[in-house]
Amino acid sequence: MNEEKSTTQTEHQEAIISLLLQLADDDFIFSFRGSEWLGLAPHIEEDVASASISQDMMGHAAMFYKLAEGLGLDAADELAHGRAAGERRNSILVERVNGEGSYMGTPTYDWAYAVVRNYFYSQAKKVKIDSLKTSAYAPLAEVATKVNMELYYHLLHWKTWFTQLLSSTDEAKEKMNDAIQAVMADFGDVFSYGEDASRIQEAGLIEEEGVLYQRWVEKMEPVLQSVGVSSEQLSVACTQNGRNKEHTTELESAIATLSEVYRSDLTASW
């Protein structure tokens, strides 16, 4: 096993690093967007629950960054906080703002959008993690097994919100359907590996993009049908790919906020 791991790491190190940064950047930015709901969630129980999920996601990002650090990159904290938006490999979906306004100003965030994004992303992550548990790169497979233990509860939480709101009032259904359209408009690169796809596949790190996307659709279809939503809304088109470091100005502002304390003293021990 050690010899196999060493060979995989040596021959496919660039592909491993690319995938690790995609996974880490996704969870890092997703966690930040979730943290912006602290004190603003619909009720106190949700405030606690969603904050806990965001904390878990940040922990997952830290594990992926730590693996990248072990392959010769900068320290995990520098990878998380020190890289510019143009160096990130996260999907477009996770960088989108929660709504109008700002957390420290007058936020008019969209809870329906948060629920749909969180549920769709969490299910996509579960599909990826299930595949990563058999990754040819043993350290990544080990981390995936640890991450998987928490995903069950994340999925259950967001699925409950998703089905309840779509089984509620006409106003709630309208907002949720609008949110589904908005989320799917940015979903095209969630299962993409970008320009490194062939190298990642060749290394046996994770299954092919289309296989994982189809598996996600199969998980989502019965849930959508149960609340009267057409699965045709799950079709995607990738017009902008964050895996290739193509991002929006929304990511730039998120990174500026996330790295503010870190950049205040680069000599400090983080």
> Residue 259 maps to which CATH number?
1.20.1260.10
pLDDT in tens, 14-63: 999 999 999 999 999 999 999 999 999 999 999 999 999 999 999 999 99
- Band (pLDDT 50/70/90 cuts) for residue 262 is confident
Enter the pTM of the model. 0.94
Contact 133, 141 (CB under 8 A): yes
Domain span at residue 150 reads 12-264
Residue 3 within any structural domain of the chain: no
pLDDT in tens, 80-133: 999 999 999 999 999 999 999 988 889 999 999 999 999 999 999 999 999 999
pLDDT in tens, 135-189: 999 999 999 999 999 999 999 999 999 999 999 999 999 999 999 999 999 999 9
Residue 35 within any structural domain of the chain: yes
- Band (pLDDT 50/70/90 cuts) for residue 7 is very low
- Is the pLDDT at 5 greater than 60? The verdict is no
Count of structural domains, the chain: 1
Residue 269 within any structural domain of the chain: no
Q: At 154, list the tokens.
A: 């994340």
pLDDT, residue 265, reads: 75
Give the separation between CA 132 and CA 204, rounded to whole angstroms. 10
- Mean predicted lDDT score pLDDT of the chain: 93
Residue 7 within any structural domain of the chain: no
Give the separation between CA 242 and CA 236, rounded to whole angstroms. 15
Residue 40 within any structural domain of the chain: yes
Contact 75, 62 (CB under 8 A): no
Give every CB contact of residue 52 below 8 A, 6+ residues apart in sequence.
none
